[in-house]
Chains A and B, each alone.
Chain A
Amino acid sequence: DAKTTQPTSMDCAEGRAANLPCNHSTISGNEYVYWYRQIHSQGPQYIIHGLKNNETNEMASLIITEDRKSSTLILPHATLRDTAVYYCIVRVDGNYGQNFVFGPGTRLSVLP
C-alpha cells in the first residue's frame, strides 16, 4: 500500500501557482519524498525528490515540513500542459532494488 495520502483532484488557474499537498505521517528517517506526474497515457515523469531540505529545480519546488510528515509540491506558474496526475511517493534513496509504490495521486486540472 502507498504510504502517502493526497487529494483526489485539484484545479488551478493558468499562470497561478499550483500547490499540491501530500501527507506521509509514517515516513522513516531514511525515506525520501519523490514526486512524479503522468500526462494521459504517457509514462510517469520524474519531477523532484528530497529528504528534509526544501528542493527546487527547473520544474518545481518541494517544501517538506520540519517533522517530515507532509510536503507540498509547487508549480510556480502553472500552464495547461501541467494538467496531469501527480504522484507523491516515499522511498529510500539509492539504487537498492526498492520499487516505487504509486497511490492514486492527485489529478490536477489547469484551467484557462
Chain B
Amino acid sequence: KAGVTQTPRYLIKTRGQQVTLSCSPISGHRSVSWYQQTPGQGLQFLFEYFSETQRNKGNFPGRFSGRQFSNSRSEMNVSTLELGDSALYLCASSTTRGEAFFGQGTRLTVV
C-alpha cells in the first residue's frame, strides 16, 4: 500500500511569491491534515480537510490556505511568502480510527 506522497520534496522561493504544495493521501483515507515544522516552534497544526471540507484550523494567518479534491488529494497554498515561512511542511492522512500517517514533507526555503 502506497504511503502519503508529498510533492515537491524541496522548494526555494523568493519573498513575496506564492507557493502550492501537494499531498496525495493513502488510498481510502478521506482526512488530510497539514502541519508546519520549524526549529523554533516545532510541529504546528495548520488545517484538516475531510470530504473536501475544512473541519479544523490552526492559528495561522490567512496567507495559509488549503483545499481538498474529490479524490481526497489536497493542496496547501501560501501567498506573499515571508522568510519565516521557511519550514518543513508535512501532510498526514488519517484512518477512520484516527491514526495519522505522515508523508516525508516538503522543505520550503524562502530567500
Contact = CB atoms under 8 A, between A and B. Distances in A.
Interface of A: 32, 34, 41-46, 49, 87, 91-104
Interface of B: 4, 30-31, 33, 35, 42-45, 48, 50, 55-56, 58, 88, 90, 92, 94-105, 107
6 contacts: A42-B104, A46-B99, A46-B102, A87-B43, A97-B55, A99-B58
A95 B90 contact: no
B97 A97 contact: no
B102 A45 contact: yes
Contacts of B92: 43-44, 100
Contacts of B103: 43
Contacts of A102: 35, 42-44
Contacts of A46: 99-102
